[in-house]
Structure 1
Amino acid sequence: MRPEVDLSTFAAAHRDGVVLIDVRGPVEYAHGHVPGALSIPLGNLVTRARELPRGGVPVHVICASGNRSLAAAEYLLRLGVDARSVAGGTAAWLRAGHPVVCGTHARA
């Protein structure tokens, strides 16, 4: 089974204050990310995975289209993180009319 959630499931979790990491590169992230997303580029995930919660706390992972986030979620699951990739990524989030914020910080 793929560790993936559809956009409407993610949007509901986001409203409830989900833990969200964005695995895109710093420039992609700065140009527009889902509010509250923490930037952990895919290339840094191995060294920063210990920062993520364990113990059944869901961690949503997003990228541009869902490919990088799916690979990241599969990796995190092997480490014991309850990770879920957001299907369609930030592009789907935008197409659905949801807001993004620009800059290098995870503002709400």
Structure 2
Amino acid sequence: MREIDIDQAATELEKGATFIDVREPAEYAEGHLPGAVNIPMGQLPGRTDELDKDETVHVVCASGNRSGAMTDFLTGSGFDAVNVAGGTSAWIRAGRPTEK
């Protein structure tokens, strides 16, 4: 599984890369990476048609565990997927901005 750290994630966000947040809607509403789209882990297998196989999909959750599993799932489904190591928790600890 490919992973990037928070600094690399910030660079990719600035470039307009695709980010999906696989946390539950209530978690997402508390604060998420700017521009990240919420597709909860349990819904992702049925919503892959919302993603572009021609673009890298950056996957984030709270700590990197759920997003790691979903990165593996997406990779196995033919997507170029990358896990954001440390998740939203690491993003916030690094002082990065969130949206609500």
Task: Give the TM-score band, short-chain normalised.
Answer: over 0.9
Consecutive unaligned residues in structure 2, runs of 5 or more: none
Give 4+ residue runs of structure 1 displaced > 3 Å after superposition.
none
* Identity across the alignment (%): 50
What is the root-mean-square deviation in Å for CA atoms of aligned residues?
Answer: 0.8
Shift of 1:49: 1.0
Asked if residue 68 in structure 1 is aligned to residue 66 in structure 2, the reply is yes
Give, as a single letter, the amino acid of the residue that structure 1 aligns with 2:76. Answer: R
Instruction: For 2:6 and 2:98, locate their aligned partners in 1 and report how far apart those are by CA, in whole Å.
Output: 15
**Deviation per CA, 1:58-92, whole angstroms, max 9, x where unpaired?**
11000000000000000000111111010000001
Match of 2:35 in 1: 36
Local SS of the residue matching 2:43? helix
Q: C-alpha distance in 2, partners of 1:67/1:49?
A: 19
Work out the CA distance in 2 between the residues paired with 1:92 and 1:71.
18
Match of 1:81 in 2: 79
Tell me the matched-pair count. Answer: 100
TM-score (normalizing by structure 1): 0.89
1:1-108 equivalences in 2 (<5 Å): 2-55=1-54, 57-102=55-100
Q: Mean Cα displacement is larger for which, 66-75 or 7-16?
A: 7-16
| Residue identity matched to 1:23 | V
State the distance in 2 between where 1:35 and 1:16 align.
Answer: 12
